[in-house]
């Protein structure tokens, strides 16, 4: 049984890199002369495979799509970030309502942090597009910065320890005044679990930082939201991941207008990608129930490390540093 899952996941990883490498080689050989219909098909397959892996690893699809596409595809990083943002937005919008109804996502926790992070997310979107358009070599700096951010995500994933049910002995004054608490029915315990949130002011500072990075690179920010909510603010892991989806929905929707208004969202790239990742994620969510989470986490971390390296090399080559 275990061997079967290793084989399946190995196949998925191979699928991503094969399609990326094949695409890069083909585009280089033909000067981008693939028939027009091949691109939507390739994007669909590529994002379908990402969609299969993403739910098993606990990261959003955007965080895999953006770096891998930047490394392998011929599109400008502007269009990749635009598509990545719409993909992250669609995933968050699709899952949030059900999570809210179950009591897992709490918009009372979301509201104060998003008041700040939405502003920084919009600023991030503006700065990202400005850099690539104002400077001839701006896109290479963005590519290098994306690689560096991926290294940071890799380290966060490597070092962060999730706490299923953190114990909050005392709430800070602000969290208490806002009544930041809630409950949900936990089937594995067969009981209703209650929780309380704490350290809201420090949490708001971190969310501001994360919002800027998410807007700038077109990434969803689940990789950073979840540790802040879980380890810092004391939200149980399920509440943290679910509330993170609601936060991503609001932040990414605000940042998306910047990309739409600049023409950085092309239906030709976005539509096959959204359809591919949506179908892949539905199947991936079913596989995730049986998959070994630790192995999948390490697989995604390996992909990220590779994508980070490739992006930095691509950026440095563009700047003629190497």
Partner 1 sequence: MAKQDVYIDPMNTAFARAMELSTYAGLAVMIVFGILYLLGFSGFVDMKQAIANWHLPVSEFWKEVKGIEIHGYSWFLSHLTSMDALSMVGVCILSLAPLLGLVAALFRSGGQKAFTIFYIILIIEFAFAILKPIILPGVGGH
Binding positions for partner 1, 168-207, rule CB under 8 A = 177-179, 183-185, 191-192
If one asks whether residue 253 binds partner 1 (CB under 8 A), the answer comes out as yes
CB of 36 to partner 1, least distance (A): 5
Q: Which of 202-205's residues contact partners 24+ apart within 8 Å by CB, and which partners?
A: 202/232, 203/113, 203/228, 203/229, 203/232, 203/233, 204/112, 204/113, 204/116
CB of 86 to partner 1, least distance (A): 6
Based on the number of CB atoms within 10 Å of its own CB, is 161 exposed (0-12), middle (13-18) or buried (19 or more)?
Answer: exposed
If one asks whether residue 8 binds partner 1 (CB under 8 A), the answer comes out as no
If one asks whether residue 71 binds partner 1 (CB under 8 A), the answer comes out as no
DSSP sequence for 35-55: -TTHHHHHHHHHHHHHHHHHH
C-alpha separations of 34 from 42, 68, 100, 157 in Å: 11, 20, 44, 37
If one asks whether residue 299 binds partner 1 (CB under 8 A), the answer comes out as no
What number of chain residues touch partner 1 (CB under 8 A)?
75
Interatomic CA distance for residues 295 and 49, integer angstroms: 17
If one asks whether residue 140 binds partner 1 (CB under 8 A), the answer comes out as no
CB of 28 to partner 1, least distance (A): 12
Q: Give the footprint of partner 1 on residues 35-54 (CB under 8 A).
A: 36-37, 39-40
If one asks whether residue 137 binds partner 1 (CB under 8 A), the answer comes out as no
Q: Give the footprint of partner 1 on residues 17-36 (CB under 8 A).
A: 32, 34, 36
**Contacting range for partner 1; rule: CB under 8 A; set: 93-101, 205-213, 216-224, 228-236:** 93-101
Q: Which two tokens stand for residue 217?
A: 């690179």
């Amino acid at each position: 049984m275990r061997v079967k899952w290793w084989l399946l996941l190995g196949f998925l990883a191979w699928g991503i890199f094969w399609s990326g490498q094949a695409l890069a080689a083909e585009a280089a050989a033909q000067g981008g002369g693939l028939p027009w219909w091949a691109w939507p098909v390739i994007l669909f397959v590529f994002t379908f495979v990402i969609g299969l892996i993403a739910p098993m690893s606990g990261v959003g699809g955007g965080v895999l799509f953006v770096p891998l596409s930047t490394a392998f595809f011929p599109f400008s990083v502007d269009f990749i970030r635009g598509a990545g943002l719409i993909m992250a937005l669609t995933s968050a919008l699709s899952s949030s309502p059900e999570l809210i109804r179950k009591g897992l996502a709490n918009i009372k926790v979301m509201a104060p942090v998003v008041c700040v992070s939405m502003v920084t997310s919009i600023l991030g979107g503006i700065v990202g597009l400005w850099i690539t358009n104002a400077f001839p070599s701006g896109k290479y700096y963005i590519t290098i910065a994306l690689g560096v951010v991926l290294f940071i995500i890799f380290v966060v994933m490597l070092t962060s320890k999730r706490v299923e049910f953190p114990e909050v002995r005392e709430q800070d004054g602000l969290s208490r005044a806002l009544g930041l608490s809630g409950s949900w029915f936990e089937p594995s315990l067969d009981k209703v679990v209650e929780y309380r949130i704490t350290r809201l002011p420090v949490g708001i500072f971190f969310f501001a930082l994360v919002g800027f990075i998410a807007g700038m690179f077109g990434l969803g920010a689940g990789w950073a939201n979840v540790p802040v909510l879980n380890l810092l603010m004391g939200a149980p892991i399920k509440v943290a991941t679910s509330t993170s989806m609601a936060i991503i929905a609001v932040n990414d929707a605000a940042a998306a207008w910047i990309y739409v208004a600049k023409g950085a969202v092309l239906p030709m790239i976005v539509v096959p990608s959204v359809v591919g990742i949506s179908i892949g994620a539905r199947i991936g969510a079913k596989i995730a129930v049986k998959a070994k989470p630790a192995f999948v986490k390490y697989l995604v971390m390996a992909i990220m490390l590779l994508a980070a390296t490739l992006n930095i090399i691509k950026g440095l080559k563009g700047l003629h540093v190497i």
